[in-house]
Structure 1
Amino acid sequence: MTLHAPRSFAAEYEPAVVGSRRRSPRAPVSLDARIGRGGLDRTLCKVVDLSMHGARLQTYSALKPGSTIWLTLPGHGQKVTRVVWADDFEAGCQFDEPLLEHVFEALTATA
């Protein structure tokens, strides 16, 4: 039986870059907004951070993850929005359609 010397090998690796899962940058804001499609079912909320793809809300009533809401942004109309997570009176939401860049810039400039 012949013993062979262990083969040496070299491997290059690229370290994993731990980055944000977000698709677009978010900005801290303080925007008064409304939840609901119209009429008496509209309730006030505050947008506390905003990205082109979603928002974090402070609400006066609990929202349910997975539900779809209408979020009215000041001066920019309603957005169909899905509640991704909710904790007491705070929720993270994702817009069905991202904000246009000029709308995002206008909302973050005034906040």
Structure 2
Amino acid sequence: MFRKQELDATGPREGGPGMPPTPGANSAEARRFPRIGVELPVRVKHGLVRATVMLKDLTPYGARIEGLEKQRIGEPIMLMLPGLKPKLAFIAWSEPMTSGLEFDHPLHEDVFATLISDFAVGHHRRMALGRPAKPSIRDAA
């Protein structure tokens, strides 16, 4: 997990504690799990500030949120996911109005599967659950 001492201005150091070397700065190969697209308003607490943000991507290891000004790398944030206790995460990267979070502890696979089945964007939900897209009536025409 990301901690302030493991980060510099460009993000996590390659090969830091518990981190495998990253083949490319933003490459898909560097991910431990593919991002699953979601559209879910969630509450966050950052210091004394409480806000509602839009959860856009989710993995068992972290999330991408939109709606907060640019944040400082390594800062803690509490994310309130539906049906769960507040989840501690750290800012892994940040741009104006968008931030990537890494959870202090990964989501349990059953919890993650439930969140995806309830809140993932259509095709992401089917892919994450290992179900092929169902043919629609339009496909039959």
Where on the TM-score scale, by shorter chain, does this alignment land: which range? 0.7 to 0.9
TM-score scaled by structure 2? Answer: 0.60
- Of 11, 14, 35, which residue of structure 1 is paired with 2:44? 35
Moved more, 71-80 or 48-57: 71-80
Shift of 1:62: 3.2
Give the paired residue count: 93
Partner of 1:56: 64
Contact kept? 1:70, 1:81, Cα under 8 Å = yes
Higher Cα radius of gyration: 1
Partner of 2:34: 25
Partner of 1:3: none
What is the one-letter code of the residue matched to 1:68?
P
CA distance in 2, matches of 1:103, 1:61: 29
What is the one-letter code of the residue matched to 2:98?
E
SS in 1 for 2:30: coil
Q: Deviations over 1:18-63 (max 9, x none)?
A: 85211122210111111117xx732101110000000000024332
SS in 2 for 1:36: strand
CA distance in 2, matches of 1:58, 1:78: 18
Contact kept? 1:35, 1:72, Cα under 8 Å = yes
Larger proportion of strand = 1
Map residues 54-93 of structure 1 onto 2, 5 A cutoff: 54-93=62-101
CA distance in 2, matches of 1:105, 1:65: 28
Q: What 5-or-longer segments of structure 2 have no aligned partner?
A: 1-26, 120-141
Contact kept? 2:68, 2:96, Cα under 8 Å = no
Contact kept? 1:34, 1:45, Cα under 8 Å = yes
What is the one-letter code of the residue matched to 2:91?
V
Larger proportion of helix = 2
Partner of 1:5: none
SS in 1 for 2:117: helix
Q: Identity of counterpart residues, as a percentage?
A: 34
